[in-house]
Amino acid sequence: MASTANQGSCLSEAIISSSISITSSFSETYVRPHIHAAGLVPVLPISDHLDACQGEDKTMASSASLASLLLLLVAVSMSQAQVKIFNLHASDLPSDILGTTDGFVKVFCGPAALGQTAVRNNNANPWWEDEFTYYKAQENDVLRLEVFDKDLLFHDLLGVCQRQLKAGTHQHDCFLEKGGTLHYSYTLNA
């Protein structure tokens, strides 16, 4: 009975000592960089801690190590990424009674309002140098861009562009409800 308790203790120590440990070549090229990016600190592989353990105890520890790997992969896939929205410009924005459009764009990512561009007065084809970065983005978050015509009292909403974020750099054209097109790019570093 003392032997079983001793083996259980050995297994527990090995698992605890290597809770974030991963030893495959896959982990060296893919998982470890993401672990460091997420701010986690990996420790020595579980096999380095199992020298004192024997037989069935090692098999149980290997299974526990695999379970730790799966949990880590889930955590890494749910980790947050950075999105950068840039190269915002519009073409053929409609005029209203007050004249040519004074356009600006409000930018949102998921639940966060990232800000708005400068107003481009009297310009149906404005370019905005503004760039927006959000560090808590996740793949499949919704990027929402609202295009407005600034007026004295109320701003006219010209249209809304929405898209789910995907990893990589993408360029999109969005046709606005009241006329014109918004062009933009984004990069999501997952």
Longest dimension (CA), the chain: 90
Helix (H), strand (E) counts: the chain: 4, 9
- CA separation, residue 180 to residues 22, 86, 103, 121, 158 (Å): 52, 19, 11, 16, 8
Strands 181-189 and 81-91: antiparallel
Q: What is the pLDDT of residues 38-70, one digit of tens each?
A: 444 444 454 454 455 555 555 555 666 666 655
Rounded to an integer, what is the distance from CA 60 to the centroid of its chain?
35
Domain residue spans in the chain? Answer: 2-77, 81-189
56 Cβ contact list (under 8 Å, min separation 6): 7
Structure tokens at 82: 């950075």
Q: Is 183 exposed, middle or buried (0-12, 13-18, 19+ CB in 10 A)?
A: middle
Q: Which residue has the higher pLDDT, 153 or 25?
A: 153
Q: What percent of the chain has pLDDT over 70?
A: 58
Using pLDDT thresholds of 50, 70 and 90, give the confidence band for residue 111: very high
Q: Which residue has the higher pLDDT, 71 or 111?
A: 111
Q: What is the 8-class DSSP label of residue 47? A: G
Q: Which CATH number fits domain 81-189: 1.10.490.10, 2.60.120.200, 2.40.10.10, 2.60.40.150?
A: 2.60.40.150
**pLDDT at residue 155 above 60?**
yes
- Whether this prediction's pTM lies above 0.85 is answered by no
